[in-house]
């Protein structure tokens, strides 16, 4: 009986006879395994990046904005209608059982000045609940006090990007930053959040009390007007219920009938972001499937070359059979050759894939996550491809009659 070590030695000797042909045969496996590794690594990295961005904006989020999307698809937003006020945010938190926190929001982009430096950034008027909803902690400093929120105090909390670009290494707390020529005292600096799912720098922001933004900065002819209400449901399962409760409450507060077009919209931010992640998962699976086709093509190439090899080595097969080799020994030998061919191609493809994933990650800025399990599966799968597609040529070799094989020219 042919031992596995002998079969391996014979297989490697046979493959070394035609090195170029063996390398070309491996090419399909190399491309297939390499492409699968790249797609899986980049896809996993992208999912992790989107997951981090989703976590960075908070959890169980709803956004209430003025205006409604009409049947024609035109969105009537905060720039054209003025329907939300501070009391709406307070009522939602007080009267909607499925809601945990609410925060009124008024944001505009304008210039901030410190000493001889200026920086254009987003100024957001809100309350301390905003930071609870966004799960955004302070690096140092403190939140707004209740008294500061009531009397529209000129205090602010800075994002890390503003600190880096406006104040540099200067000690921040207690410093005065001018916004639209109004002096604001810095009372805190937030931890870094990074980019949002839309690619915006979340740390490029200054936060002031909501009444301060309404009365001292931006102003409005409409009393207590706000641009949006950020809402956090108690759990992810309660998001639809919170959405329904908010819709019912604001419809009553704004005295709107069921047949009247609403002057507000409730948007499920968590669902929007999760939809983006599901889309990415589908695209990753699609690209991985396309890459897997290369493995199929590589397997067919192995079958083709192994059939050629059987034809070329017919007399050798006849001699082996004549001196006592069994059909199983011949079958096993050719299966080993196919598996070695495929496995070596898989190992080369693995190195190509890992290198390609890191190059793509460096160029695109996406992380590349390579799982040891994926590496193991790729190698085992490449070997399985060789065995699967090499079985028919091996079976054909094992069924040759010794007399006919010896007569083959």
Q: Are 196 and 269 within 8 A, CB to CB? A: no
As a whole number of angstroms, the distance between CA 133 and CA 126 comes to 12
Place of tokens 């000797």: 13
User: Would you kindly state where each structural domain of the chain is located, as residue ranges?
Assistant: 4-53+275-407, 82-262
As a whole number of angstroms, the distance between CA 47 and CA 282 comes to 11
As a whole number of angstroms, the distance between CA 362 and CA 351 comes to 17
234 secondary structure, DSSP code: S
Residue 359: both structure tokens together: 């190059």
Can you tell me whether residue 249 is helix, strand or coil? helix
Can you tell me whether residue 399 is helix, strand or coil? coil
DSSP per-residue string spanning 137-195: -EEEE----HHHHHTT-SEEEE-HHHIIIIITTS--TT-EEEETTEEEEEEEEEPP--B
As a whole number of angstroms, the distance between CA 40 and CA 192 comes to 29
Print pLDDT tens along the chain (409 aa).
556 666 667 667 666 767 777 777 778 788 878 887 887 787 777 777 766 666 666 678 899 998 764 433 444 444 445 688 899 999 999 999 999 999 999 989 999 999 889 999 999 999 999 999 988 999 999 999 999 988 989 999 999 999 999 988 778 899 999 998 899 999 999 998 887 766 678 899 999 999 999 888 887 666 778 889 999 998 888 988 999 999 999 988 988 877 778 888 888 876 666 676 677 677 767 766 766 676 677 777 777 777 777 776 677 777 777 767 777 777 777 778 778 888 888 888 888 888 888 888 888 777 777 778 777 877 777 777 777 877 777 777 777 676 665 555 5
Say what the pLDDT of residue 91 is.
94
Q: Are 338 and 389 within 8 A, CB to CB? A: yes
As a whole number of angstroms, the distance between CA 73 and CA 75 comes to 6
Residue 380, C-beta contacts closer than 8 angstroms, at least 6 positions apart: none
């Amino acid at each position: 009986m042919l031992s596995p070590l002998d079969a391996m030695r014979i297989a490697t000797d046979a493959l070394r006879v035609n090195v170029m042909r063996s390398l070309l045969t491996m090419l399909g496996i190399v491309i297939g395994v390499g492409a699968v590794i790249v797609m899986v690594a980049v896809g996993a990295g992208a999912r992790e990046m989107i997951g981090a961005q989703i976590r960075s904006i908070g959890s169980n989020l709803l956004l209430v904005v003025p205006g409604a999307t009409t049947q024609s698809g035109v969105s009537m937003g905060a720039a054209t209608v003025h329907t939300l006020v501070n009391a709406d945010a307070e009522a939602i938190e007080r009267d909607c059982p499925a809601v945990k926190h609410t925060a009124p929001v008024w944001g505009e982009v304008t210039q901030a000045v410190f000493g001889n430096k200026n920086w254009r950034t987003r100024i957001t008027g809100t309350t301390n609940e905003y930071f609870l909803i966004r799960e955004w902690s302070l690096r140092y400093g403190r939140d707004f006090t209740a008294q500061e929120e009531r009397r529209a105090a000129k205090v602010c909390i800075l994002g890390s990007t503003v600190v880096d670009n406006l104040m540099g290494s200067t000690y921040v707390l207690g410093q005065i930053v001018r916004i639209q020529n109004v002096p604001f005292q810095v009372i805190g600096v937030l931890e870094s959040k990074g980019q949002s799912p839309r690619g915006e720098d979340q740390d490029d922001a200054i936060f002031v009390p909501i009444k301060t933004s309404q009365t001292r900065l931006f102003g409005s002819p409409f009393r207590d007007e706000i641009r949006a209400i950020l809402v956090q449901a108690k759990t992810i399962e309660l998001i639809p219920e919170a959405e329904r409760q908010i819709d019912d409450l604001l419809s009553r507060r704004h005295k709107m009938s069921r047949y009247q077009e609403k002057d507000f919209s409730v948007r499920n931010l968590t669902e929007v972001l999760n939809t983006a992640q599901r889309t990415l998962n589908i695209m990753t699976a699609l690209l991985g499937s396309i890459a897997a086709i290369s493995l199929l093509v590589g397997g067919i190439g192995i079958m083709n070359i192994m059939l050629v090899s059987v034809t070329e080595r017919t007399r050798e097969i006849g001699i082996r059979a004549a001196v006592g080799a069994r059909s199983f020994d011949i079958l096993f030998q050719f299966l080993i050759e196919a598996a070695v061919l495929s496995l070596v191609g898989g190992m080369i493809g693995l190195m190509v894939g890992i290198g390609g994933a890191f190059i793509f990650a460096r160029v695109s800025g996406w992380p590349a996550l390579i799982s040891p399990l994926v590496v193991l599966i790729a190698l085992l799968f490449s070997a399985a491809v060789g065995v699967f597609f090499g079985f028919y040529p091996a079976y054909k070799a094992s069924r040759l009659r010794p007399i006919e094989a010896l007569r083959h020219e």
